[in-house]
Amino acid sequence: MARVALGFIGLGAMGGRVTKRLLDAGYQVTGHNRTRSKAQWLLDAGMRWAGTPREVAEASDVIFTMVTNTAALEAVVRGPDGVLAGLGPGKVYVDMSTVSPAKSRELAEQVAARGARMLDTPVSGSPITLEQGQLSMMAGGDWEAFERVKPVLHAIAPIVNYVGTNGQAVLMKIAVNLNLQVQIMAFCEALLLAEKGGIPRATAMKVLLDSVIASPSLKYRTPFILNEPDEAWFNVNMMQKDLLLALDMGRQLDVPLPTVAVSNEFLTMARAMGLAEHDFFIVYKVLAKLAGIEA
């Protein structure tokens, strides 16, 4: 598998870093991004450029996509210049996006009609965990296709869990991500309670992160409350997209998700306050405003 030709479409904050890991692992990668200038650092690192998603698919044995939502995925796979048009027998298409499980299954059927096979393989982690080689990944789809591309997947993430058929990995990712916002909400409530009771914010944060409640996600994201990053890792709009996917699946599967529903409303408040492009930890400012605290 070391000589397999890879393609990657969607070279944003996560996709670009995934591509860099693949290049560093010695793979030949052909890439495409809506804005070429954002991919220049990867071209400098040895990535080959393709003008369209179709050209990426035609040049590659295994084709990855990692885009923001279902609509963005449709945009790169459909039409005469889309991924589907460049697929054929023997190719494996791997989508790393967090999208509707139903749409993912529908796309897998269309990929199969082209003679190729599809996996959905979203990841759990952040730009930091990716750079540190600590991502985890979940995979759904054809078992033989999974076994074939597993060495490539392990070049991206040390932990890769196969969870079932097409769409199941996306469902699992939605289940993971709903936890992120709910955890952040609880942390912010605890922090504000301590702070309004007279404990300095930085002190209260350290105590919370040294306690049994600390998770890896909280440890690397909640410091943003003290020092916001220049670039959002995962903004309010992206997180709300995932929570809405979770709520939709909850309705379909008759699973009540009350904490998700409440957390989602606080993201709507953040958007109403003009904070949509901030990392989703920004709900701290929403809660602080309600508590009468200057955030």
Q: Biggest alpha carbon distance in the chain?
A: 65
Q: Higher model confidence: residue 2 or residue 11?
A: 11
Residues 225, 201 contacting (CB under 8 angstroms): yes
**To the nearest whole number, what is the mean pLDDT of the chain?**
94
Report pLDDT for 209: 95
Give the residue from 141, 221, 150, 140 showing the smallest Cα distance to 174. Answer: 140
For residues 281-294, give the mean pLDDT. Answer: 94
Report pLDDT for 1: 43
For residues 113-138, give the mean pLDDT. Answer: 91
For residues 264-284, give the mean pLDDT. Answer: 96
Percent of the chain's residues with pLDDT above 70: 99
- Coil, strand, or helix at residue 160? strand
Count of beta carbons in the 10 Å neighbourhood of residue 86: 25
Chain segment 150-205, per-residue pLDDT in tens? 999 999 999 999 999 999 999 999 999 999 999 999 999 999 999 999 999 999 99
Q: Look at 130-134, 160-164, 250-254 and tell me which has the smallest mean pLDDT.
A: 130-134
Could you list the active site residues?
A: 173
- State yes or no: pLDDT of 141 exceeds 70: yes
Residue 230 confidence class, pLDDT cut points 50, 70, 90: confident
Written as six digits, the tokens of 52 are 């369209």
| Domains of the chain by start residue, with CATH | 5-166 (3.40.50.720), 172-291 (1.10.1040.10)
Report pLDDT for 231: 82
Local structure of residue 115 (DSSP, 8 states): T
Residues 239, 267 contacting (CB under 8 angstroms): yes
Where are any strands of DSSP class E within the chain?
Answer: 5-9, 28-32, 48-49, 62-65, 92-95, 117-120, 123-124, 136-141, 159-164
Residue 62 confidence class, pLDDT cut points 50, 70, 90: very high
Report pLDDT for 39: 94
- State yes or no: pLDDT of 45 exceeds 70: yes
For residues 224-249, give the mean pLDDT. Answer: 92
Residues 61, 92 contacting (CB under 8 angstroms): yes
Chain segment 74-122, per-residue pLDDT in tens? 999 999 999 999 999 999 999 999 999 999 999 999 999 999 999 999 9
- State yes or no: pLDDT of 2 exceeds 80: no
Q: pTM of the full predicted structure?
A: 0.90
Residue 129 confidence class, pLDDT cut points 50, 70, 90: confident
